[in-house]
Amino acid sequence: MENRTEISDLGEFGLIDHLTKNFEIRNASTILGIGDDAAVIDHFGKQTVVSTDMLVEGVHFDLMYTPLRHLGYKSVIVNLSDIYAMNATPTQITMNIAFSNRFSVEALDEFYEGVFAACEKYNVDLIGGDTTSSNKGFIISVTAIGEITPGKAVKRSGAQPGDLLCVSGFLGGAFLGLTILEREKKIYLESPGVQPDLEEQQYIVGRMLKPEARKDIIEFFEQQNIVPTSMMDVSDGLSSETLHICKQSMVGCKIYEDKIPIHDDAKQFAYKLELDPTACALSGGEDYELLFTIPQSEHDKIVLNEEISVIGYLTDIEEGVHIITKGGSTHKLTAQGWNAFAQ
């Protein structure tokens, strides 16, 4: 049997100290971190960007197939992704957790291993948090803080007719990863003796359990002196995010189905399940890619980056939001994906 240390053996303060003692500060802007009543941040004349997210067991994650280390990593990543989506650089996070006595010190250590790995990779400081109990289930709330040069923040509302619609990486993989994990969970619950068969689908399972935030894209913008006219991260699916940008920018849009980037492994697995890969990209969530718009004059710079796909362009609002299929027909885009019956 594995070691199990009860939280009560350490006490609340002992636990916080145990979880956070090896954490070192990386940013000059972190003046005071963990250990006092509040942290102190100096952003040296830059502007501060703040975003917060909550993850609830049974709603946002399932511990049956989510290793705690991955959960710690992902809970940081989803917040950093929001900061990058503002064209900002994340610098600090706070971590609030609530858990029942089902959790041991070792379990929380594993969770924090993931938190620290993400902090290290993305160069952010953990500067505080709160630790409390819950009657049932694990609850995580992370706040991410970032900095940005005044005037560089990119909102959802700045897209103009004629701009190009672009997206980073590949879409739809996380949804397919979730689909296989949920399938295997169901089989396991019906016959616990059966070993889960993930069919060596490392790519899609990884997209679900261990997403990354697109720091590289923000760095590319900086190097190339590109400021997108609008941007957001893809957490709910391409359809829903495109509709947000169009609504908030008061523009219309045309997306070309054949330009939507879908990884080959994701495509193959979708076909196997008789799912439409395009539908997975449009409606599946949790890809944490960046969706953004740029003026056409930036086209030649954008194509230098193989991680970026131009998938369509913006129009006047009267033209609506449509997808042009591989077959050449035009369909209205809905938050659920696209309605094959409406024109």
- The DSSP bridge pattern shows strands 89-99 and 125-133 to be parallel
Residue 200 region, left (φ>0) first, then alpha (ψ -120 to 50), else beta?
Answer: left
When asked if residue 316 is in the footprint of Mg ion (CB under 5 A), the reply is: no
When asked if residue 97 is in the footprint of ligand ADP (CB under 6 A), the reply is: yes
Minimum Å gap between C-beta 209 and ligand ADP is: 22
When asked if residue 22 is in the footprint of ligand ADP (CB under 6 A), the reply is: no
- In terms of CB distance, is 122 or 269 closer to ligand ADP? 122
When asked if residue 130 is in the footprint of Mg ion (CB under 5 A), the reply is: yes
29 binds, among ligand ADP, Mg ion, none (CB under 5 to 8 A by kind): none
CB of 65 within 8 A of CB of 160? no
Q: Of 127-135, 181-189, 221-229, 307-315, which segment contacts Mg ion by CB under 5 A? A: 127-135
Q: Of 17-25, 129-137, 259-267, 275-283, which segment contacts Mg ion by CB under 5 A? A: 129-137
Which residues face 148 on adjacent strands? 47
When asked if residue 36 is in the footprint of ligand ADP (CB under 6 A), the reply is: yes
The correct pick among 7, 20, 269, 314 for binding ligand ADP (CB under 6 A) is 20
Minimum Å gap between C-beta 168 and ligand ADP is: 30
H or E stretch covering 176: helix 173-190
Which residues face 49 on adjacent strands? 146
Minimum Å gap between C-beta 76 and ligand ADP is: 12
In what order do the strands lie in the sheet containing 89-99? 47-56, 139-148, 89-99, 125-133
CB of 286 within 8 A of CB of 276? no
230 binds, among Mg ion, ligand ADP, none (CB under 5 to 8 A by kind): none
When asked if residue 42 is in the footprint of Mg ion (CB under 5 A), the reply is: no
Q: Whose structure tokens read 């994650």?
A: 61
Half-sphere exposure of 23 (CA within 13 A, CB side): 32
Applying the rule CB under 6 A, the residues between 222 and 241 that interact with ligand ADP are none
Would you mind telling me the total number of residues written for the chain in this entry?
A: 343
3-class DSSP state for residue 320?
Answer: coil
When asked if residue 12 is in the footprint of Mg ion (CB under 5 A), the reply is: no
H or E stretch covering 76: helix 68-84
Which residues face 331 on adjacent strands? 323
When asked if residue 126 is in the footprint of ligand ADP (CB under 6 A), the reply is: yes
Cα–Cα distance measured from residue 331 to residue 343, given in angstroms and rounded to the nearest whole number: 5
When asked if residue 2 is in the footprint of ligand ADP (CB under 6 A), the reply is: no
134 binds, among Mg ion, ligand ADP, none (CB under 5 to 8 A by kind): none
When asked if residue 16 is in the footprint of ligand ADP (CB under 6 A), the reply is: yes
- In terms of CB distance, is 17 or 130 closer to Mg ion? 130
97 binds, among ligand ADP, Mg ion, none (CB under 5 to 8 A by kind): ligand ADP
When asked if residue 258 is in the footprint of Mg ion (CB under 5 A), the reply is: no
158 binds, among Mg ion, ligand ADP, none (CB under 5 to 8 A by kind): none
The correct pick among 131, 160, 305, 334 for binding ligand ADP (CB under 6 A) is 131
Segment 180-187 long-range contacts (CB within 8 Å, at least 24 positions apart): 180/204, 180/205, 180/269, 181/62, 181/65, 181/205, 181/208, 181/209, 184/65, 185/62, 185/64, 185/65
The correct pick among 35, 40, 319, 340 for binding ligand ADP (CB under 6 A) is 35
Cα–Cα distance measured from residue 34 to residue 12, given in angstroms and rounded to the nearest whole number: 14
Q: Of 124-132, 137-145, 146-154, 332-340, which segment contacts Mg ion by CB under 5 A? A: 124-132
What are the residues binding ligand ADP (CB under 6 A)? Answer: 16, 19-20, 34-37, 95, 97, 126, 128-131
